[in-house]
Chains A and B, each alone.
Chain A
Amino acid sequence: MNAPSSRGVVWLGSPAFPDAAREALKDTRLRANLKRATSTIRDKRLAVASELDDWEALRDAAAAIKKCTARHLDHYLVELEASVTAAGGTVHWACDAAEANRIVTELVRATGESEVVKIKSMATQEIGLNEHLAEAGITAYETDLAELIVQLGDDRPSHILVPAIHRNRTEVRDLFAAEMGHWGQPAPEGLTDEPADLAEAARRHLREKFLTAKVAVSGANFAVADTGTVVVVESEGNGRMCLTLPDTLITVMGIEKVVPTWSDLEVFLQLLPRSSTGERMNPYTSTWTGTTEGDGPSAFHLVLLDNGRTDTLADTVGRQVLGCIRCSACLNVCPVFERTGGHAYGSVYPGPIGAVLTPQLIGVENAATLPFASTLCGACYDACPVKINIPEVLAHLRAEAVEAKNGHTAEALAMRAAGKVLDSPRLLAAAQKAASLGGRALARRGTIGRLPGPMHGWSDTRDTPAPPAESFRTWWRKNRENKEGEQS
């Protein structure tokens, strides 16, 4: 499958994961920020998850609901469209990023406005909506605090829940002081880097936007098919402002976010805050059903985005990834993410979920190093509230990445040769003898130090023991069999 260029998702020109990671690892401040942030949130998550004695049952229920909904996705989406329409909203279908961007731009143009307020939405980042709106002369103002920081810094998000996790508060202070004035209300004189001061500066800056904006763009965490209710879960209340104050609300939502009923929603509302922020309940859960006369926006548009999702659904192993509720628990427990940060994944979806989602959305050959950006340690699978078996999908995508290269690589030749040797005890014994001789020739006092060539990455920081003079099978034959029991 070739990724249509209309699909967005990946930052064009991003280096391959190992190269991007190497650069990121040099940033010691980033690593310290990440370690502190991820370990705090990890502990909080474990504490609130262990409070519920039915936690595992909730995870099973969540996985089952997502699986069943995905199997009948066509049905639930049509049901959602009908109930949203009946409640006074308008539903639009977008097969890819280009179509979604066009729809949103036209909707904003039709209002005659040239500014929109936005609440954090991964789907609009995925399609590059802000950039697209800017080309059309429309300015989008991010109102989630972390998104605001990212926008002011002309930066990329590096975490699903904490997009500015790579910035510390001194950096944020400097950014506010230098940039807020270009976007609207400037930061007050003498701004300190105290969290309360920073929050106050952001509040004043954003308030002006909330009070003047006529159009808002949001994402959605869930949409309930049978009532047509859309749900946004957040911490700051800025989303609530966006969702209620403007005249027109445009929501862009991936098609996998639909759930059949409110009783299904209930399961996720227990799992999501505990898994993402480590809270029992998030401060703001906004739900709305179409439009209501005299209360909130008078026009509501729901853009349903495919952008690679039905292709993902066709993959019997990979489709489980569509169950993701973007809680970011897998990022916070991932030992690779903790060291490299999110930018190395080259996508709006970082960490373990990014490593399995991005290649599926844009085609594995376009993100071929991502499925290998993991030790398969399994921490993500244990943490995932929807029980997505990320290591299983990683291994599956590795096979697809290899297949996409048709066996025309040095690695493929080496693997085939190794396969031949390993399928023959006789050849294996010969290879062991050779490795023993060669290894011992390279070794000094029993260890092999730095090596050139393809093994330099390994041997730069690790010694390797010299292979022993005698393999186990040789020892066994000499000591236990005293006869030749070997066939090939």
Chain B
Amino acid sequence: MRIALFITCFNDTMFPGTGRAVVSVLERLGHTVEFPQEQTCCGQMHFNTGYRPDAVPLVARFARTFAGYDAVVTPSASCAGMARENHPLLAADYGHAQLQQQVADVVPRVHEFTEFLTDVLGVTDVGASFPHRVSYHPTCHSLRGLRLGDRPLELLRAVKGIDLVDLPDADSCCGFGGTFAVKNADTSAAMLADKADGVLSTRAEVLCAADNSCLMHIGGGLSRRGSSVRAMHLAEILAATEGGTP
């Protein structure tokens, strides 16, 4: 199986450790991962902020770059959702027949990292060890967009030594919402405050999720409140092994 990693522009720039973790988990499971260097961004920011025409070249680049792979794996539920739901829509509204075809070919092979592990590879125990108290925040795009359901939790439960604690009001949004956090900073901050309260009440050492954007938001709020809770992509937990440092 030819597997391509779609790192996403945000992780590429801000959280390269998450990409390294995905590569390390997949290699540990015996797969080869390729990183097509022509990749950049799925166009989510442009699309969600109302700049659809500006997203179209990114859709075309995505389809070109990942053509021919059996699986395109990404450690971002929101970017996977963007490709699957909105690339066909943009191709239909702004693209030509050829682009529509390219998009239709690639989109069914785009997988968020945890669903790739559970649904395509059929594994829940990836041989990880992480002896820490961890809480999991189901981001809106994992929960209501991709409907990942319990998949991330099944993966986490199989991690050796982990002390997994429920997050109260887990399904409520953290208030990030991309440019929402800038355009409606006050409302976003009020939502963040409640989410951070929930995290602190679990007394977890680590908060994990399937999207680094939401994690950066919650982690940023926790850090400003002087908390030592670490916000960490769940791929990095799955990459951790006995004796290895995440």
Binding site for B on A (CB under 8 A): 17-18, 21-22, 25, 31, 335-336, 339-340, 369, 371-379, 381-382, 395, 398-403, 411-412, 415-416, 418-419, 422-425, 428, 431-432, 435-436, 447, 449, 454-455, 457-458, 460-465, 467-468, 470-473, 475-477, 480, 485-487
Closest 8 CB pairs of A and B: A375-B177, A457-B185, A462-B220, A398-B50, A402-B50, A378-B144, A377-B173, A472-B16
By a CB distance below 8 angstroms, the chain A residues around B133 are none
A463 partner, pick from B37, B45, B181, B220, beta carbons under 8 A: B220
CB distance from A161 to the nearest CB of B (A): 21
By a CB distance below 8 angstroms, the chain B residues around A401 are 50
Q: List 9 A-B contacts (CB under 8 A).
A: A336-B187, A373-B187, A376-B140, A399-B52, A458-B185, A460-B189, A461-B193, A464-B220, A477-B37
Main DSSP-derived SS at the B contact region: helix
A436→B15 CA distance, assembly (Å): 12
A378→B140 CA distance, assembly (Å): 7
B183 at the interface (CB under 8 A from A): yes
Binding site for A on B (CB under 8 A): 7, 9, 11-17, 19-20, 35, 37-41, 43, 45-52, 54-55, 57-58, 61, 140, 143-145, 171-173, 175-193, 216-217, 219-221, 223-224
CB distance from A379 to the nearest CB of B (A): 7
CB-CB under 8 A for A422 and B187, given A458-B181, A467-B14? no
By a CB distance below 8 angstroms, the chain B residues around A449 are 224
Which residue on chain B has the smallest CB distance to residue A405? B50
Inter-chain contact B37/A486, CB cutoff 8 Å: yes
Inter-chain contact A377/B144, CB cutoff 8 Å: yes
By a CB distance below 8 angstroms, the chain B residues around A395 are 47-48, 50
Inter-chain contact A25/B173, CB cutoff 8 Å: no
By a CB distance below 8 angstroms, the chain A residues around B54 are 415-416, 418-419
CB distance from A187 to the nearest CB of B (A): 36
By a CB distance below 8 angstroms, the chain B residues around A335 are 172-173, 175, 191
Inter-chain contact A379/B184, CB cutoff 8 Å: no
CB distance from B190 to the nearest CB of A (A): 4
A340→B188 CA distance, assembly (Å): 11
Inter-chain contact B16/A471, CB cutoff 8 Å: yes
Which residue on chain B has the smallest CB distance to residue A19? B186
CB-CB under 8 A for A419 and B46, given A472-B19, A473-B35? yes
By a CB distance below 8 angstroms, the chain A residues around B176 are 375
CB-CB under 8 A for A472 and B184, given A395-B48, A432-B13? no
By a CB distance below 8 angstroms, the chain A residues around B219 are 463, 465
By a CB distance below 8 angstroms, the chain B residues around A423 are 40, 57-58, 61
By a CB distance below 8 angstroms, the chain A residues around B186 are 18, 21-22, 25, 457
CB distance from B177 to the nearest CB of A (A): 3
Inter-chain contact A472/B49, CB cutoff 8 Å: no
A271→B216 CA distance, assembly (Å): 39
By a CB distance below 8 angstroms, the chain B residues around A372 are 179-180, 183-184
Inter-chain contact B35/A476, CB cutoff 8 Å: yes
CB-CB under 8 A for A470 and B16, given A17-B184, A458-B185? yes
Inter-chain contact A425/B144, CB cutoff 8 Å: no
By a CB distance below 8 angstroms, the chain A residues around B144 are 377-379, 381-382
A17→B186 CA distance, assembly (Å): 11
A230→B209 CA distance, assembly (Å): 49
Which residue on chain A has the smallest CB distance to residue B34? A480
By a CB distance below 8 angstroms, the chain A residues around B14 are 465, 467-468
CB distance from B62 to the nearest CB of A (A): 10
Inter-chain contact A377/B140, CB cutoff 8 Å: yes
Which residue on chain B has the smallest CB distance to residue A339? B190
